[in-house]
Structures are given as structure tokens and as C-alpha cells.
Amino acid sequence: MSTPTVACPTCGQAVAWLPENRYRPFCSERCKLIDLGEWAQERYTVPAAPVWDDGKTEQN
Ligand SMILES: [Zn+2]
């Protein structure tokens, strides 16, 4: 039995996909916040896209 892991979108570190990891797929809160910052700056270039709803991008 092995724990599934994902690569942190921010730093690439292996992150154990566990229920207690509240920041997954990020390795930490810091990386999560950094990732959000990258989005704001339109510098998000990580190939692995997040699983967020991407149906529409307009903002009202
Ligand atoms: Zn990270």
C-alpha cells in the first residue's frame, strides 16, 4: 500500500495526497499563496493545470 503523491505546482516537491494535507496539491500554505500570486501576474506556466472549473473566465 503506497501513498499517492503529486508534484507541488509551485516548487515541484513531491506531496503526499493525504486527507490531512489541507494544502494539496501544494506542499504548504506558502506554495499555495505563491501559486495564487503567479495567477495574478499571468505568469503561470506550470504544465499540469489545476482541476479548477475552467468553463468561463469572464469576471463580473
Ligand atoms: Zn511547494
pLDDT at 53 exceeding the cut of 90: no
Cα 24 to ligand 1 centre (Å): 9
What domains can you pick out in the chain, each with its CATH number? 5-40 (3.30.50.10)
Cα 55 to ligand 1 centre (Å): 26
pLDDT at 41 exceeding the cut of 70: no
**What does the H/E/C string look like for 1-60?**
CCCCEEECCCCCCEEECCCCCCCCCCCCHHHHHHHHHHHHCCCCCCCCCCCCCCCCCCCC
Cα 40 to ligand 1 centre (Å): 18
Cα 32 to ligand 1 centre (Å): 7
| Closest among 9, 8, 11, 14 to 46, alpha carbons compared | 9
Cα 47 to ligand 1 centre (Å): 15
Q: Give pLDDT tens digits for 10-40.
A: 999 999 999 999 999 999 999 999 988 866 7
